[in-house]
Amino acid sequence: MNVEHDVLLSRFTTVGIGGPATAFARPTTLAEAEEAVRWGTERGLSVVPIGLGSNLLASDAGIDALVIRLAGNLAQARVEGETLSAGGGAPNAVCLHRARAAGLGGFEFACAIPGTAGGGVRMNAGAYGSDWAAVLVRARVVDAQGTGWLTRDELALAYRQSSLGPGQIVAEVEFRLAARPEDEIRRRVAELQALRKAAQPTNKRTFGSVFKNPDHELGAGKMLDQCGLKGHRVGDALISPRHANFIENAGRARAADALALMAEARRRALERFGVELEREVELLGGLELPPLGGLLPSSSPSSR
């Protein structure tokens, strides 16, 4: 198995932030994924799967772990009957393409989620009233204990969460879809993509929604907008002027800049709405948000 060293994670995250990973492997088959997990475990390294890095903020100092990015067969998808079988590393766009070509609908909601089948299981990714839980049948998971299938119930999929823990890699996913004419699927995808483009910064480097929507009449984006945070900047990290629940990398943003913005956003949401925002983005490499009590003083919009 080929293991690379000191691979910069900024190349593998949509926000373009992240230092080197001690070890980096790209297994292309189930056997290679199992071998990679064994390799990391034997060396006492944490094993961290990544997909397209579309929900990740990684430390600038890097991460002392074996990062696994599924490739080859584990990044492809195929259809049999009404089942879409996808490698854990298959991009959602590939899954959607295969489903559409086979006249299977139900995965259209994922057209604006720039991740993979496996990352979607971990996060129970969702949009426009649907999510992985609505279409997933089971997932094949590899970890230090071995390999096995977990059903949707065993995965305990809920709003942006699952039962998957550190070191568990989704190598394969089965979705159950339903027959739908191809042109209907195309129309729905075009509609959803237009909605997305109108509301979110789709052409910027971001890691998707920063915070989960709280149990409140306002979503996190509206809340942070009302806190006056659109355009607020720390270093090269910027709260999107288009949607306040996104942080853009406007140049050479560092993880610390993004974290400082997140801390400020949480402080203001607590102060103004009494709500403790919970992060949606996954943090890698020992990054942590400061506790709400000890946050930065308020700073003015567009301060650098």
Instruction: Name the residues that contact ligand FAD, by CB under 6 A.
Output: 14, 48-56, 70, 88, 112-116, 118-120, 122-123, 125-127, 164, 168-170, 202, 206-208, 282
d(CA 163, CA 208): 21
**Pick 176 or 204: Cβ nearer ligand FAD:** 204
Task: Please state the closest distance from residue 249 (CB atom) to ligand FAD, in A.
Answer: 11
What size, in residues, is the chain?
Answer: 304
Token match 């879809």: residue?
177
Nearer to ligand FAD, 48 or 295 (CB): 48
Q: Which among 59, 30, 35, 60 has a CA at the least distance from the CA of 47?
A: 35
Nearer to ligand FAD, 76 or 168 (CB): 168
Q: Which residue is nearest to ligand FAD (CB)?
A: 51
Judged by beta carbon, residue 24 or residue 207, the one nearer ligand FAD is 207
Residue type, 55: N
* CA distances in angstroms from 74 to 9, 64, 131, 244, 264, listed in the order given: 20, 24, 21, 35, 39
User: The tokens of 198 are what?
Assistant: 């109108």
Task: Provide the annotated active-site residues.
Answer: 160, 209, 280
3-state SS, 94-146, equals HHHHHHHHCCEECCHHHHHCCCEHHHHHHHCCEECCEEHHHHEEEEEEEECCE
Q: What does residue 75 show for φ and ψ, rounded to 5 degrees?
A: -120, 20
Q: Which is nearer to ligand FAD, 114 or 295 (CB)?
A: 114
Give yes or no for a contact between 131 and 125, defined as CB atoms under 8 angstroms apart: yes
> Do β-strands 3-8 and 20-25 pair in parallel, antiparallel, or remain unpaired?
antiparallel
Shortest CB 296 distance to ligand FAD, Å: 25
* 156 CB-side CA count, 13 A: 5
Strand 46-50 and strand 77-80: pairing?
Answer: unpaired
CA distances to 84, 163, 257, 269, 271 from 176, in Å: 6, 20, 41, 39, 44
- Pick between residue 125 and residue 258 the one whose CB is nearest to ligand FAD: 125
CB of 115 to ligand FAD, least distance (A): 2
- Residues 58 and 293: their CA atoms lie apart, in Å, by 24
